[in-house]
Amino acid sequence: MRFPQAPPPYLQLAASMIPEKLEVLSRASPVLSDGRYPHWDELRFREPPSGLSSGQWWATLKWARRQSQTPLTAMKAAYSLNFGFVPTASIQQTLHDLDRTNVARELLHALGNEDAIAEYRVRQLIEEAISSSVLEGARPTTRELARQLVRERRAPATRDERMIFNNWRAMKRIVQLRDKDRPLVVEDLLELHRILGEDALDVPEAAGTLRGPEHNVLVEDIEGNVWHTPPPAAGLRTRLERLLQFAEGGHSARDATFIHPIIRAIVVHFWIGYEHPFRDGNGRIARAIYYWCMLRHGYEMAEFLSISGPIDRSPKAYYMAFAFTETDDGDLTYFVLHQLKVMREALAELSAHLHARAKRMAELARSVAGFDALNHRQRAVLQHAIRHPTHSYTVEGHAESHRVHYQTARTDFIDLVKRGYFEARRVGKGKRYFPSDTLPKRLTPIPPR
């Protein structure tokens, strides 16, 4: 992956356009006619408007962007770059759409009751734990086995499994920290990094410990090209305190600009990546704090979204959004646009999955005798068993998936065994439940519509 070319100095180019092309500067827009917000690395390959060179075209765009930029004062005070973002029309429209999105209503419509929503919340947190680990290099045998590992709290057997299990523990801890009536502090950040990094970092002793002046921390690609050199370690804790104050929403009299909470969470995501406070595991902690920030500001939808899934499918765009921002003097618009696109994709995936699940449940209700007499937890495990006939289940995993007590989960399986849907077998020192051999015969074929 090629590192983007840094833009030319726009002020010098803009000055060279005065006075002949002053009118062009005065009516310049921060975006292209199609709404796109290109970096110089892309713009330089496009045909400029008549009468302008590529450099002058960039100068007009950059001039307009600086005039309409919302400054991020807390970041500007800590670093040498002019951090800020441009609230383009597409950004404002996406924020409006996200604010109007009623995930709870969609969940209730698709799943039927609040208890089922709790189960789905667990499912999505598991998916984010897996996807975030895969993005950092974990390669589970299958995602289904990874889900089983988390649900049953099985001791990880490999480093990849440990990474996934740690991410799950961290996501659960984030929800707990969200519920505490206090801001996040640096010690919380260190605790989350210890959870994420336990036996799962390339630098084993780095878990929960900030980098120091003696540590040569660089962001490099596989070919050894340096993409980012973090700020000096001196003053790191103070800068993190400022970061967490920003995440909470606190501001001083000189920094009273309103910043939308979703933008705030995205900025925090970038800020941790830029600061790189740890020797390893910075991507994981950045995405974790993004989730905390979303939840802290009342965006419950975050518990049902997996942003790491869309990022993992297009990692180049993710890393280029970081690089575009840094090379363009801290213009975070690139990263904001990228992350809003990721959120839209995650919401679309959630909606599609909910509709598919609702359809499958309706089909099961028509094909399984006695389905209506089952509770939502039993329906969910039966649905899974029909789709995965070789899978087995434990009471502990069932309880974890649905956030219920052990005895409640055990009662569910005892009833399913009595109804003939499952069989209980002793495996090692524990008991597992397998789909009954007669289960396929008990399904009534669904007539074509």
What per-residue confidence (pLDDT) applies to 103? 73
What per-residue confidence (pLDDT) applies to 446? 45
Residues of the chain with pLDDT under 50: 252-253, 446-449
Q: Among candidates 111, 87, 184, which has minimal Cα distance to 362?
A: 111
What per-residue confidence (pLDDT) applies to 115? 65
Do 151 and 203 have their domain in common?
Answer: yes
CA 214, chain centre distance (Å): 31
Do 94 and 183 have their domain in common?
Answer: yes
Domain interval for residue 381: 371-442
What per-residue confidence (pLDDT) applies to 447? 45
What per-residue confidence (pLDDT) applies to 255? 57
| CATH code, domain carrying 389 | 1.10.10.10
Spatial separation of the C-alpha atoms in residues 248 and 243, rounded to whole Å = 9
What per-residue confidence (pLDDT) applies to 15? 82
What per-residue confidence (pLDDT) applies to 444? 57
Do 267 and 305 have their domain in common?
Answer: yes
Do 421 and 386 have their domain in common?
Answer: yes
Do 183 and 80 have their domain in common?
Answer: yes
Domain count, the chain: 3
What per-residue confidence (pLDDT) applies to 324? 98
Given 68, 85, 109, the domain boundary residue is 68
Spatial separation of the C-alpha atoms in residues 105 and 90, rounded to whole Å = 25
What per-residue confidence (pLDDT) applies to 269? 97
Crossing angle, helix 89-100 and helix 261-275, to 10 degrees?
110
Do 417 and 327 have their domain in common?
Answer: no
Do 111 and 188 have their domain in common?
Answer: yes
| CATH code, domain carrying 314 | 1.10.3290.10
Any domain includes 131: yes
Any domain includes 359: no
Residues 197 and 166 sit within 8 Å (Cβ to Cβ): yes
